[in-house]
Amino acid sequence: MNMPLGTARPPDTVTVDGARAGADGTGTDSADDGSDSGTDGRVDGTAQEPSGPHLGKAGTGNDRAVGSAEWDLLTDRVRWDQATYLLLGCDPGHGPLSLDRLPDRLPEADRPLLRRMMTDALVHGRPAAGTLRIRRPCGRHDHVECAGEPVLDADGTVTALRMLLRPAPPA
């Protein structure tokens, strides 16, 4: 099951500096002026999102919010859409979390799974997926399904990590 998104980032996507993309209605922001290698703000110019059996396809009766995030390892640029902020319980005013701060949102018991997923993606260049508990400011934990995949350059080096998130179905 794939979750393809459009070729441009959603208009509510926020970059690491907090500037909204698509303010002019084009789905791009001023940083995406063609100066990087991506045609739609992505590192490699593709419009693909993580795919596989891990997350449902948008528009197939699954009305749960889906968040997307991308961490560019070459520029340290981080992009989250609004759904990601909601799913991870983060304030958009503070900007997206770096990869090294992401474990802060999880209880200690779930951090090894996140480390394994990140190792699979960033070190081994493989897609990774799992269900994690996200710690809310009120102390409650919500389950979130995460599917990530590395972005590889021509020689196979990981240059970015893309992740899709959605609420896990009730048990």
**CATH number for the domain that contains residue 89:** 3.30.450.20
Flag whether 114 is in a domain.
yes
Nearest to 28 by CA among 36, 20, 37: 20
Flag whether 84 is in a domain.
yes
pLDDT at 64: 67
Flag whether 46 is in a domain.
no
* Mean pLDDT of the 134-151 span: 92
The identity of residue 50, as a single letter, is: P
For 110, the domain range is 52-167
Flag whether 89 is in a domain.
yes
Under a CB-based contact definition with an 8 Å cutoff, are residues 42 and 28 in contact?
no
Pairing of strands 141-152, 14-15: unpaired
Length of the chain, please?
171
| In 8-154, alpha helices (H) | 82-88, 111-122
User: What's the domain count of the chain?
Assistant: 1
115 φ/ψ angles, rounded to the nearest 5 degrees: -60, -40
**Does the pLDDT of residue 149 top 70, yes or no?**
yes
pLDDT digits (tens, 9 = 90+) for 46-90: 333 333 333 333 333 344 689 999 999 999 999 999 999 999 999
Nearest to 52 by CA among 123, 153, 149, 152: 149
pLDDT at 14: 40
Asked whether the CA dihedral 151, 47, 29, 80 is positive or negative, the reply is negative
**Does the pLDDT of residue 144 top 60, yes or no?**
yes
**Residue 140 pairs with which residues in a beta bridge?**
none
